[in-house]
Amino acid sequence: MALNSQGIATPAACHPVDEKLPAKQLIPAAFQHVGAMYAGVVAPPLIIGPACGLDQRDQIVLISVSLLVAGLATLLQTLGAGRFAGNRLPFVNASSSAGLASLLTVAHSAPEGHRIQTVLGAVLVGGLFCLAVGPFFGRLMRFFPHLVTGVVITLIGVSLMTVPVAWVQGGEGAADFGSAANLGLALFTLVVIIVLQRVLRGFLKQIALILGLVVGTLAAVPFGMLDTATFQQTSWFALPMPLQFGAPEFHPAAILAVCIVILVAMTESSAGMLAIGEICDREVEQKVVTRGLRVDGIATTVGSLFGGLPTSAFAQNVGVVSLTGVRSRFVVAVAGGVMALLGLFPVLGGVVSLVPYPVLGGAGLMLFGSIATSGIRTLSRAHLEQGHNMFVVSVSLAVGLIPLAAPTIYQQFPQWFQTVFGTGIVAGAVVAVLLNIIFNHPLKVTAKPVPPAPEPANGG
């Protein structure tokens, strides 16, 4: 006999990962995962939608697709389906924030009226790239150690900070952009989230971000800062349709930028699988990582046809498993099922769209700041005191920050160069990988063997 995650004796053959909990334990544990992932799932479409010039109704569609794809990908990852079995771990898949900075640059560099098609075309190819590279990714992971991924994740958080700062002021194009009312509402929301994080415990602390959004939105009502017109016209139930934003468009520079981000997302997913394996005391072999990355690729490829963004691991849900000690993959599967159901009801996406931009901005400051903090935490494990690691990080971060400090610095360069190096996250990733190879993967030069001297002739 063995003890399960709740301290109850079970047959030794049943690993905690494969444990089926009773409903009274399973459902609350599943909703903890839903609470931890919900804000992160809806954040990417909330950012990419306005950048692509979408109206509120289309943005609701993006939110619904993001929820549906996250739910189905998580179900496939935890339960599997024949040949398409995932890693069968308590592992959540959803739209990754890792690619947002690059996708924003892709959107802004695309022709007006073709932005969402260009973004989705690049994501489609990125998903196929993930499927092609996944089986061999184990050999590439050595080029993405903590040194590289730490730089990339830090730049993600720093690069994205321009988004919540614009939201705090009311959102780009707002008539009252930068008004004291907008700034005050954003500050109020941020303070509420800080207080909730301090005083709440358990599940409520996990959903402090959502609670803060609710409180901030309610506070906006007396000031007439709530627009309910789109919400009132939103249908209750709808199945997402393929190519509803038009046929995807393919631009080489945009595809290259997204493929680099996909490599970073694959590294995060692989690291997440290894981490969840350690937490669950289950060995994660290379074939398990390959199956997990296959689900990432399938979800990204198929999801892009409906309006989905790149799909990857959700680190916050790895933290939920560690915090609660509930290791059953069926708990996460139920959470995935809930997310998929939420995606079928656009009215729920409409509820999210009610949140005023200053409220989103107040929460976004904390959300994207936490991404940068995750990058710093990763760098803390990169042994910066050894060799040239500090130099690699310094140069990579500097190159990655150039587009933020001087957005027009590369305007005289070709368009493909602007798309790649005009994005801090991609520029920093490229430089970090190259410098890491130069300093930490030196080429071994083998001297050509010297032929033996000829035998002296007889009598010589």
Which of 27-31, 188-192, 402-406 shows the lowest mean pLDDT across its residues? 27-31
Which among 33, 40, 7 has a CA at the least distance from the CA of 329? 33
- pTM for the model stands at 0.70
Is the predicted pLDDT of residue 315 greater than 70, yes or no? no
**pLDDT at residue 406 greater than cutoff 50:** yes
| Region of residue 330 (phi > 0: left; psi between -120 and 50: alpha; otherwise: beta) | alpha
pLDDT tens digits along 99-130: 777 788 888 888 888 999 999 999 999 999 99
Identify the pLDDT of residue 445.
43
Return the pLDDT at 191.
94
Q: Please state whether beta strands 2-3 and 9-10 pair in parallel, antiparallel, or not at all (unpaired).
A: antiparallel
Exposure class string for 134-170: b at 16+ Cβ within 10 A, else e:
beebeeebebbbbbbbbbbbbbbbbbbbebbebbbbb
For residue 316, pLDDT over 70 is answered with no
What is the tens place of the pLDDT at every residue in 34-67?
766 776 788 788 888 888 988 878 888 888 899 9
CB-CB contact of 76 with 298 (8 Å): yes
- % of the chain beyond a pLDDT of 70: 86
Q: Which residue has better confidence, 253 or 320?
A: 253
pLDDT at 263: 82
H runs (alpha helix) in 52-113: 56-79, 100-109
Q: Is 68 helix (H, G, I), strand (E, B) or coil?
A: helix
Average pLDDT for 214-235: 79
For residue 241, pLDDT beyond 70: yes
Each residue of 409-455: pLDDT tens digit? 888 888 778 767 877 777 888 899 899 999 987 654 444 444 444 44
326-339: pLDDT as tens digits: 788 999 999 999 89
The candidate with the shortest Cα–Cα distance to 113, out of 241, 246, 240, 257, is: 246
Question: What sign has the CA pseudo-torsion 181, 183, 185, 188?
Answer: negative
pLDDT exceeds cutoff 50 at 91:
yes
Do residues 267 and 144 make contact, with C-beta atoms less than 8 angstroms apart? yes
CB 76 within 8 A of CB 84: yes
Question: Which range, 82-86, 99-103, 185-189, 456-460, is most confident?
Answer: 185-189
Contact 388, 440 (CB under 8 A): yes
- Is pLDDT above 50 for 459? no
Q: Which residues contact 408 (CB under 8 A, 6 or more apart)?
A: none
Report the pLDDT value the prediction gives residue 138, as an integer from 0 to 100: 67
Cα–Cα distance measured from residue 66 to residue 71, given in angstroms and rounded to the nearest whole number? 9
The dihedrals phi and psi of 2, each to the nearest 5 degrees, come to -140, 160
